[in-house]
Structure 1
């Protein structure tokens, strides 16, 4: 498969996606778009043919857009192989930038000293401050994600938060959680799988949240959440 051009309502700063680790995500979130595309996905695997991919130079690449490659069931050896490949194929004059996103960001810390991590933006999902077990299933709790991102931010590493799909929240705690991550950018999106019903906040609640987040971070409201921009 190699690099794929970023399409649709992906992050605007991402040029390409690359998925060297494939298969079913351990977290099994009910709203996952990959579950809708491939409900009978195979167990996770390292697709070794992807390690022939020309990563190019001067690109912004989202690694692992189709599964969480930092989930607990992904072997550390696979992750190290992917990171090593990025580092070995770097262009010194015009290096790539990478986005890593996980609902299990504590595993970022396992690899934080890998040299390619100097070219990475670290992102986690904070779709609410609450825990909805029937929706989030095996995903780590929000508090765990925040604690790990806080540690990463304290190391001076660039961080980002995506609140997608944004679900009903308690504004004060939600803002506090996101602030602790010290994100340069907060992405806000709506549930794109309309067959899955989620507890959504009101337009007024979202606008109040956005106003508070803008006091310390850039905020991007995705096209799938146009109703919340008005």
Structure 2
């Protein structure tokens, strides 16, 4: 609980249990914070500074002629493919259908190092999503491939590179080689491990394991994607976000008619309201859950 107190001359003395304040504070209002409150505001100030710095670079870059809210300017797939087998994965479905005859996906969604991608050059101020067609930090990706990617992006210090994984525990093993312009992200669709297992959502690490890894990760620029959002416990998931302290988040519903165990829209809106107080939230597809839309449709034809 915060306390606002006017400093008087008696505050300059040091009775038992009190703190000595400097004389220049006499007549001024001082806000007293608990350690928990101080930590919260310190994190929030750091995140606001990161947001300002990153978006100043992106939005003020002369090389970018795009819409204001389109944060990602380029996708880059030096490594593609994934073995998590997520039930909702649009990339795997694309690789096994429309792209199945292409050279890159002739073996399906098997992880692959795409040597031709290392000829790619990036512009200052670009915001690059790395390996959106795979999971670069999955345990099935050789260490040498990851180091090759990190070495390449070292050449572009004024470009921001977004990594997104369902195996964030592996970030720790690469921090010494990680460029400062890297944004380390994790997908955390829910806080409910049981729901994740019962619905066979993915073979990736459970949400609680990802949360723990991101909470412990010593990196300033952290990112969380709650997409596709699955049903959750409001208080718990909000706490997870605060503990991780990402500078930015994506939140959105499934776009591919997978009939996932989604939360009702009212709960998601409450979640968005609460986390918007602690981080920058990019709202993706926000709509009623599929079962809410179905109920509305059935009510309409009765």
TM-score range, shorter chain: 0.7 to 0.9
- What corresponds to 2:282 in structure 1? 220
Counterpart of 2:73 (choices 15, 21, 24) is 15
Q: Is the 8 A contact 1:126 1:178 kept in 2?
A: no
Rounded Cα–Cα distance in structure 1 between residues aligned with 2:211 and 2:279 = 16
Counterpart of 2:181 (choices 119, 123, 133) is 119
Counterpart of 2:202 (choices 116, 126, 137) is 137
Rounded Cα–Cα distance in structure 2 between residues aligned with 1:60 and 1:67 = 18
With normalisation by structure 2, the TM-score equals 0.65
> Unmatched 5+ residue regions in structure 2?
1-68, 101-107, 290-302
Counterpart of 1:193 (choices 245, 256, 259) is 256
- What corresponds to 1:172 in structure 2? 235
Secondary structure at 1:148 match in 2: helix
Secondary structure at 2:148 match in 1: helix
- What corresponds to 1:70 in structure 2? 137
1:71-130 Cα shifts (integer Å, max 9, x gaps)? 01000000001110111x325xxx1111111110111111112152x1011111111111
Rounded Cα–Cα distance in structure 2 between residues aligned with 1:220 and 1:90 = 25
Secondary structure at 1:186 match in 2: strand
1:174-211 Cα shifts (integer Å, max 9, x gaps)? 111222110112211110111x1101111111111112
- What corresponds to 2:163 in structure 1? 100
Would you say 1:151 and 2:209 are equivalent positions? no
Larger gyration radius, structure 1 or structure 2: 2
> Unmatched 5+ residue regions in structure 1?
1-10
- What corresponds to 2:123 in structure 1? 56
Higher relative contact order (CA 8 A, sep 6+): 1
Runs of 4+ in 1 over 3 A off after TM superposition: none
C-alpha RMSD over aligned residues: 1.8
Rounded Cα–Cα distance in structure 2 between residues aligned with 1:74 and 1:103 = 13
